[in-house]
Structure 1
């Protein structure tokens, strides 16, 4: 598959995944339709906007090309419609599926947007600065979720649970280290998958950084 096509599909999937996680948080926090849509949009494009501002890319790419925002908007509307059609909301099976959907959608978006952030850094002339590339990848991955959580009145996940940001940092470093060694398509898949695996396993096995108490 051509790199541009893979990149487009990855960005599309990541946008949908993050938009779903934003709507789920909004529903969980008893927000109305507008609140759910705002959380979906901020989760999907917020990280990219923060990254662009820090890298000096103005106006942010999302504002120049609102395709991702449109995808997030449509995803939010469709998900809310499907959710409202579910009648047995309190069933144990549904709650189990609900939690898993939140985990997997958030983890997929995290992995995909981490490698996208690194690529944006490379494209804008920072290929020789690994610190900026890791920052760009991590911020793209966690930025939207951080904004989502703060808007929902919660402590952002990156500060409290399951080595959330650390998974992005590890994935970004590995992705950067293999970029010039193997085919870029494979390196993208490896980088995104690694972030996803670390994030999911840390949730399943309750792996956290130590806390001071």
Structure 2
């Protein structure tokens, strides 16, 4: 496996685990059972990639061809379930600031990784001349799973209300598109991912928000 492909796979696995834990944590807070936790975790981890593949015509979507992603998500949520089940202080944890910070960190990591992976999917398909498509695929890969997750638990998607959530993904996608032709792919991917994570964490810490009508 070429170095770049190896790095992409590692990043995909990191993003999968991060988003799976994020989805599982939301499911636990919503008091869903084990199946609900697994479904929400897998949906959050793989939903963005599913939408991306449907947009660019990959049939069937990669998540159904390579079971490693779903498997990683399921294992991550089983471990999360076991940890929360074993510690009786879990209810206090669900209402703590540490919970919110952990959820935000997992969301930020998943968002950053999958934004870059989404842009890279367009690059691998030789769609380099379609700049908007590359950015769109990056953003939808990053936020798609979270949108489906939030709709399944009947809450307004975080992308529409959370501190510059989609804006962070857009910034990372644009950064990767610009850096790809300037430096090698590996550093470009890492820098763009870190940019998304940094924006999300700073937005959460300083409570940055886009203006609202009222």
| Runs of 4+ displaced beyond 3 Å | 90-94
Counterpart Cα distance in 2 of 1:93 and 1:77: 17
Q: In the comparison of the two structures, how many residue pairs are matched?
A: 213
**Residue of structure 2 equivalent to 1:204:** 205
Once the two structures are superposed, residues 147-202 of structure 1 have per-residue CA deviations (whole angstroms, 9 ceiling, x without a partner) of: 00100111000111211111111110011101111121110100100011111111
TM-score by length of 2: 0.95
**Residue of structure 2 equivalent to 1:74:** 75
Using the TM superposition, name which of 1-10 and 110-119 deviates more. Answer: 1-10
1:133 aligns with 2:125: no
Do the aligned residues in 2 keep the contact of 1:89 with 1:95 (CA within 8 Å)? no
Point out where structure 2 has 5 or more consecutive residues left out of the alignment: none
Do the aligned residues in 1 keep the contact of 2:93 with 2:99 (CA within 8 Å)? no
Do the aligned residues in 1 keep the contact of 2:15 with 2:113 (CA within 8 Å)? yes
Counterpart Cα distance in 2 of 1:192 and 1:66: 24
Point out where structure 1 has 5 or more consecutive residues left out of the alignment: none
Do the aligned residues in 1 keep the contact of 2:23 with 2:41 (CA within 8 Å)? yes
Once the two structures are superposed, residues 55-99 of structure 1 have per-residue CA deviations (whole angstroms, 9 ceiling, x without a partner) of: 121111111112101110111111110111112235479823221
User: RMSD between aligned alpha carbons?
Assistant: 1.6
Using the TM superposition, name which of 68-77 and 92-101 deviates more. Answer: 92-101
Counterpart Cα distance in 2 of 1:90 and 1:15: 25
Counterpart Cα distance in 2 of 1:100 and 1:172: 24
* 3-state SS of 1:26 partner: helix
Counterpart Cα distance in 1 of 2:62 and 2:90: 38
* 3-state SS of 2:79 partner: helix
Do the aligned residues in 1 keep the contact of 2:113 with 2:193 (CA within 8 Å)? yes
Do the aligned residues in 2 keep the contact of 1:88 with 1:94 (CA within 8 Å)? no
Using the TM superposition, name which of 17-26 and 201-210 deviates more. Answer: 201-210
TM-aligned CA deviation for residue 4 of structure 1: 2.3
Do the aligned residues in 2 keep the contact of 1:110 with 1:142 (CA within 8 Å)? yes
